[in-house]
Amino acid sequence: MPAENYDQLYKQKLTSADEAIKTLARDTKLITFGCYCGTPPRLTRAFCEAAAAGYFRDTPDVYLLRSRKEIVDQFSNVDVLKQIKLLCPFLGGSFRHLADRAKELRQSHPDLIIPHYLPEHFSLYARGVFARHGKPNVHLFQVSPMDEHGYFSFGVDGSMSIPLAFEAGQIIIEANQHMPRTFGSGLVHISQVSALIEHNSDLMVLPKKVPSPEDHKIAEFVAELVPDHACIQLGIGGVPNEVGKRLKTKSDLGIHTEMLGDTLFELIQAGNVSNRYKQLNVGHTVFNIALFSNHDYYAFLDNNPTMACHPAHYVNNPHIIAQNDRMVSVNSFVEIDLFGQVASESINWRQISGSGGQLDFVRGAFRSKEGIAVLAAHSTAKNGSISKIVPRLQNIVTTPRNDVSYVATEYGCANLFGMSTSERAHALIELAAPQFRDELREEAKKLTIY
């Protein structure tokens, strides 16, 4: 197709946000959105306004992963929550606030529908949508501007957006000049698009947090485990961030990660990353989401052929992860018990986040040749008043004990793999804060594992 035809198609499909939403059938059953920077702010607002006005005849299911607060808040309108069923496979702070707000509003609006949480691994999010409903009627997401070949890039949102978009009955996009054009499998052609709008807005950024002394200490223990030529995945939080900062003494690192954040980006900028020694995607930094605290970082990704954004069902697939040698995975946890069971998404049975990709990467890194999977956290919470190492887990398990190997706190690092139940208990007690160790020993004796 000649290039001028792409421009003609573009003009034919370009419309306003309100008119784009009106292209949806009023009996639409399933609507999915891009996540993080992939959530289209202007289309989301138009969608919520249409839903509140009673546009949909039935009650469509709406899948919304994480996004920035001002976008999530658009769903907190009473009239919106009466008209849709919101489904969330990961609860961040904004979603928790939304769910709590919905529970309060339901007391005076009994027909309001409280958002539902979906327990799934990140690698299987899209598969969960298909298992529940089949193909989405429409996928709405934010993209980079169209290139000379008629393609838009998914930019920094591979996640579940790529598979959902290509299975959706309709694709509606919001072209944003601030979305970088990345390489990988996230490309959609103008001929595949049902409608598009143009709307320029700043991409989502994370607030910077001041690292604690505990973060520094834990990071020192973990960084010692990382060899040259390692392939890195770092999760979200103070400890993974500090680990990344300590890898600037390492050479020829590779990156295969769920989220590309500040510290991994800074390692690339510092020259520590070559991706030369990976077994898959040699020469490329592989991620499914990029999320920074600095707007300027996104610009580095634009048209950079080393930046490969792929969907979570590829990036987070343990069998794919394991094919890169010396894979190092670092993630955090909320609690671990003396048997080695790990809770990373809830507190006292209350969902605070999601399973995400933790177990995906724990299993993938562990099976990698010379790979290691580290779960790291402070030994205590609430200013030292609560131990994160507990006798028995009274919480939702994220990572089963059979999958746990390296565990790190500010008091050290231990590899639980190959240890007996009793040896695990001994090792974990040594990782606990000193003021809780005697109590943990007594509880371990009662459980006959000490």
The pLDDT confidence band at residue 26, using thresholds 50, 70 and 90, is very high
Can you give the length of the chain in residues?
450
**What one-letter code names the amino acid at 135?**
K
Q: What are the residues whose beta carbons fall under 8 Å from the beta carbon of 352, sequence distance 6 or more?
A: 91, 96, 334, 345, 346
pLDDT for 354 equals 83
Lowest pLDDT segment from 59-68, 302-311, 339-348, 417-426: 59-68
109 CB-contact burial (10 Å; exposed 0-12 / middle 13-18 / buried 19+)? middle
213-446 maps to which CATH number? 3.40.1080.20
pLDDT over 90 (residue 351): no
- Contacting residues for 251 by C-beta, under 8 A, at least 6 apart: 228, 229, 272, 274
pLDDT confidence of residue 98: 82
Among 100-104, 148-152, 388-392, 402-406, name the one with the lowest average pLDDT: 100-104
Whether the pLDDT of residue 88 is over 90: the answer is: no
Give the pLDDT of residue 317: 97
Please indicate whether residue 410 is annotated as part of the active site: no
Task: Outline which parts of the chain fall under CATH 3.40.1080.10.
Answer: 3-198
* Residue 92 reports pLDDT greater than 90: no
* Tokens 């006798």 found at: 391
**Residue 1: what pLDDT?**
63
Question: For position 45, what pLDDT does the model report?
Answer: 96
State the pLDDT at residue 198: 98
What pLDDT is attached to residue 243?
Answer: 93
Contacts (Cβ under 8 Å, ≥6 apart) of 193: 13, 152, 171, 172, 173
Residue 89 pLDDT level (bands cut at 50, 70, 90): confident
70 has a pLDDT exceeding 70: yes
Q: Which residues are within 8 A (CB) of 269 and not within 5 positions of it... i.e. 6 or more apart?
A: 300
Q: Given this model, what pLDDT does residue 152 score?
A: 97
DSSP designation for 136: -
pLDDT of residue 100: 84
65-69, 146-150, 235-239 — which one is most confidently predicted on average? 146-150
Q: What is the pLDDT of residues 332-346, one digit of tens each?
A: 999 999 999 999 998
- Six-digit token string for 71: 């976008």
> How sure is the predictor about 40, in pLDDT bands with cuts at 50, 70 and 90?
very high
Residue among 80, 73, 78, 119 nearest 98 (CA): 73
Strands 327-332 and 231-234 come out as parallel
Bridge partners, residue 380, by sequence: 387
pLDDT at 95: 77
**Model confidence pLDDT, tens digit, residues 219-229:** 999 999 999 99
Catalytic residue, candidates 120, 214, 242, 258 = 258
What average pLDDT does range 222-243 have in this prediction? 92
* pLDDT value at 180 more than 70: yes
Q: Which letter does DSSP use for residue 196 in this model?
A: E
pLDDT digits 0-9 by tens, 195-205? 999 999 999 99
* CA 300 – CA 289 distance, rounded (Å): 15
**According to CATH, what is the number of the domain 3-198?**
3.40.1080.10
Residue 227 CA to residue 3 CA, distance in Å, equals 48
From-to residues of CATH 3.40.1080.20 in the chain: 213-446
pLDDT band at residue 66 under the 50/70/90 scheme = confident
